[in-house]
Amino acid sequence: MSAPVHNSPNREYPLERTRNIGIAAHIDAGKTTLTERILFYTGMIHKLGEVHDGQATTDWMQQEQDRGITITSAAVTCTWKQLEEEAVVKNFTGQDQRVNIIDTPGHVDFTAEVERSLRVLDGVVVVFCGVAGVQPQSETVWRQADKYEVPRIIFVNKMDRTGADFQAVVEDVREKLKANAVPVLIPIGSEDDLSGQIDVVNLRSVTYSDSDLLGSTYELGELTPDQLEVAESARESLIEALVDADDELGMKFLDEEEITSEDIKAALRRATVANKLIPVVGGSAFKNKGVQGLLDAVIDYLPSPIDARAAVGTKDAESTDLVEAPASDMGKTCALVFKLWSDKYVGKLVFIRVYSGTISKGDQIINSRTGKKTRIGRVIQIQASDHKDVDTCYAGDIAAVVGMKNVRTGDTIHADGFDIMLEPPAFPDPVISMAVEPKTTADSDKMSDALARLSDEDPTFTVSTDEETGQTIIAGMGELHLEIIRSRMELEFSVQSNAGKPQIAYRETITTDAKGEGKLIIDKEVAGKGQYAHVTLNLSPNQRGEGITIDNKIDHSDVPKIYHESVMQGVREAAINGVLMGYPVIDVHVTLTGGSSHETDSSEQSFKTATVLAMRNAYEQGASILLEPIMTVDVDTPEEYQGDIIGDLNRRRGQISEIDSRNGFSQIKAEVPLGPMFGYSTDMRSLSKGRASFSMEPKCFEEVPANEMARLKEQMY
């Protein structure tokens, strides 16, 4: 029986030789520098740009260049030819394998960019600093990759830095991330003595040339006795791990057959794809050592779209029947929208990952959320800020399309007759908000348009209007996030704005069961048109993080089915403002129990209004409480400032959960309410004479203490 055909004869690179990978890590671990080296060695760029001089290819936004950080995930495509076994010295201009790369931000305020990238990638290179090891945001990235079961390779970067320790980072990964990390390319030397890598699988050395153009050639050679001892020990440990993780190699080992380098490589590939082992490569992107070996490892061990699990969805939002979309150009078209971007030349770019079939210019495809057909105007291959028009994108491709209307991040698009809805990426709720207003009347309409387009692009950025004051409220993941939004409004949309002080995104919930009843009766003799609706419901507290859940037990004989969706809308609308201080309500289970209707006076609007009344009636009986966002705060500080930093966090109502020491630095992990953390960056730098750094991300919502609640009410009134 012949193997199934996956590839269209028209595609340039077969699926087997395609890799979709992300580069992810803690801020400043060197992701963008690594991406820049990969593009250089693969021949996609001919001059290296550096993050610190604002010239990196994937940091193309003005704000990224100004700040030296990655804000938005950038997609690039390159090609790579692996080393031929007989070659001794190799120039890297081959074009055998296609690698699609997404360089993601490290700053926690832009975690949505990492989340949506990992949702559509087949593998990820997680970068760790050779000095700092596992840092807070790298733990977040790891959890996100675990959620989507994305196979990983680790690159231990910055091995040229003072204090770099490859083995210590490997142990850190095993201990903190509980990952089965196995070194495959161990750095030769460190700090100023970094010269190459020990190839554990093939028992040879890889020495990079300092005299040649930016490390673009290297030499394979014999290991010294000391290096051979390290290599053989690592190889023995690797085989032991593979015997446990891979049945095929395990059988060879038990049968006492010879285990070759090819056997090890094949078994490590299977174990990596199955998420049982994590290959580790050491080097220095900035010093041009080890990047080519990492590229070879990406090809050797990370999955192609065929190796990765087939995309699985349901027929529609209500269905539980699973539908598969295996990676094949010959299959029916299925793709996931993972990002929207407003381009000043092209218009709205819709980034997609094609899972099966093909998408061509002029195609009519269906959006599973709306059920409506839409036409593909253009298909574009993205090279960071550069665009290249193509006729077709194939299964496994990451591309952008133009011409789609009424589309959101997370939408599934598919062929007519192939009903499938893939799971969208999940995004956290905003935790901080502020009021903004245009500086001039002329900016008013432009600001509305700018905010609408920016909120389309970013699922963690929301825009609303305060009903009492009429102010425009923007909300996001942190102070930097909102600062970048305002900066983008000015640079990209020419909108100048004033902003109020940042505000906490509090939430409300109930603590006891409650019953609610809402009745809307308007006499037609008084209003000219009668209205009637009656709804009863029960509320009960949900576990934290469960959100609003609804159980509809209304009998159709009491309330006709035509009004049930309006009742559901009433529940959702009532959750926008609680009764305590007007904040959104979360973590409540609603059981719709009954009601009544009128043959002529009932309407969808009247049932929505009656449901809102019933919900508010129940909120008032449910012992509502106010919740505040609690943040996980990680501070890296020289040990001599540890006491001052901990004391300051305690004063901010922080709970210290962990203290670790490494290379003269303390890593302090704490849980702190968001409110007292405003302005923390300035205070922390003052306490540590500018030497400490911190990161902060949302953890959960917890009840506001009584004394703080009293203070908030006093401020309110």
Instruction: Kindly report the CATH number assigned to the domain that includes residue 614.
Output: 3.30.230.10
**Interatomic CA distance for residues 601 and 584, integer angstroms:** 31
* Same-domain status, 243 and 102: yes
Q: Is the pLDDT of residue 106 over 60?
A: no
Same domain for 590 and 682, yes or no, is: no
Do 380 and 277 reside in the same domain of the chain?
Answer: no
- Of the pLDDT bands very low, low, confident and very high (cuts 50, 70, 90), residue 61 is very low
- Specify the 3-state DSSP secondary structure of 367: strand
| Distance of alpha carbon 459 from alpha carbon 507, whole angstroms | 19
Q: Is there a single domain that holds both residue 412 and residue 482?
A: no
Task: Report whether 401 contacts 339 (CB < 8 A).
Answer: no
Report d(CA 163, CA 28) in Å as an integer. Answer: 16
Pairing of strands 378-383, 398-402: antiparallel
Residue 189 has pLDDT above 80, yes or no: yes
Q: Which of 589, 623, 657 is the last residue of a domain?
A: 623
Residue 2's pLDDT band (cuts 50, 70, 90): very low
Same domain, 283 and 379: no
What span, in angstroms and rounded, lies between the C-alpha atoms of 300 and 289? 19
| Greatest mean pLDDT range, 59-73, 382-396, 460-474, 581-595 | 581-595
Q: Check whether residue 229 and residue 165 sit in a common domain.
A: yes
Cα–Cα dist 288/214, whole Å? 6
Please tell me whether the overall predicted TM-score, pTM, comes out greater than 0.75 for this model: no
Q: Can you give the pLDDT at residue 335?
A: 92
In this predicted structure, what is the pLDDT of residue 525? 56
Task: Give the span between the Cα atoms of 426 and 244, in whole angstroms.
Answer: 34
List Cα–Cα distances, 63 to 210, 637, 696, in angstroms.
33, 27, 21
For the segment 516-534, the average pLDDT, to the nearest whole number, is 79
Query: Looking at residues 557-574, what average pLDDT do you find?
Result: 92
Residue 411 lies in a domain: yes
Q: How confident is the model over 416-446, as pLDDT tens digits?
A: 989 999 988 777 778 788 888 888 887 888 8
For tokens 């070879």, the residue is: 296
Can you tell me the mean pLDDT for 329-333?
Answer: 91
125-153 average pLDDT score: 86
CB-based burial of residue 254 (10 Å sphere; 0-12 exposed, 13-18 middle, 19+ buried)? exposed
pLDDT score, position 65? 43
Based on the domain organization, do 327 and 281 belong to the same domain? no
502 versus 62: which is more confidently predicted? 502
For strand 514-522 and strand 655-662, is the pairing parallel, antiparallel, or unpaired?
unpaired
**In the prediction, which pLDDT does 93 show?**
37
Q: What is the mean pLDDT of residues 171-191?
A: 92
Contact 474, 485 (CB under 8 A): yes
* Residue 313, φ and ψ in degrees, nearest 5: -140, -165
Structure tokens at 55: 């010239």
Look at residue 394 and give its three-state secondary structure.
coil
Q: Are residues 689 and 605 in the same domain?
A: no
Beta strands in 110-180 (DSSP E): 123-129, 152-157
**Range with the largest mean pLDDT of 57-71, 392-406, 423-437:** 392-406
Q: What is the mean pLDDT of the chain?
A: 83
> What pLDDT, on a 0 to 100 scale, did the predictor assign at position 145?
87
Considering 505, 527, 545, which residue would you say is the last residue of a domain?
Answer: 505
Look at residue 5 and tell me if it is in a domain: no
Per-residue pLDDT band at 268 (split at 50, 70, 90): very high
Residue 194, classed as helix, strand or coil, is coil
Residue % of the chain over a pLDDT of 70: 88
Q: Which of 606, 623, 640 is the last residue of a domain?
A: 623
Same domain assignment for residues 390 and 450: no
The H-assigned helical ranges of 502-602 are: 524-527, 564-574
Do 255 and 339 have their domain in common? no
Q: In this predicted structure, what is the pLDDT of residue 232?
A: 94
Give yes or no for a contact between 195 and 207, defined as CB atoms under 8 angstroms apart.
Answer: yes
Query: Can you tell me which residue has the tokens 């509320």?
Result: 539
Which amino acid makes up residue 354? Answer: V
Name the residue range of residue 213's domain.
15-301
Question: CA distances (Å), 100 to each of 162, 228, 245, 288, 380, in order?
Answer: 33, 35, 28, 21, 14
Using CA atoms, how far apart are residues 72 and 415, in angstroms rounded to an integer? 30
Q: Please indicate, yes or no, if residue 7 is contained in any of the structural domains.
A: no
Q: What is the CATH number of the domain that holds 272?
A: 3.40.50.300
Which range (39-43, 153-157, 374-378, 577-581) has the least confidence?
A: 39-43
Contacts of 230 (CB under 8 A, 6+ apart): 186, 198
Alpha helical stretches, state H, 420-472: 443-457
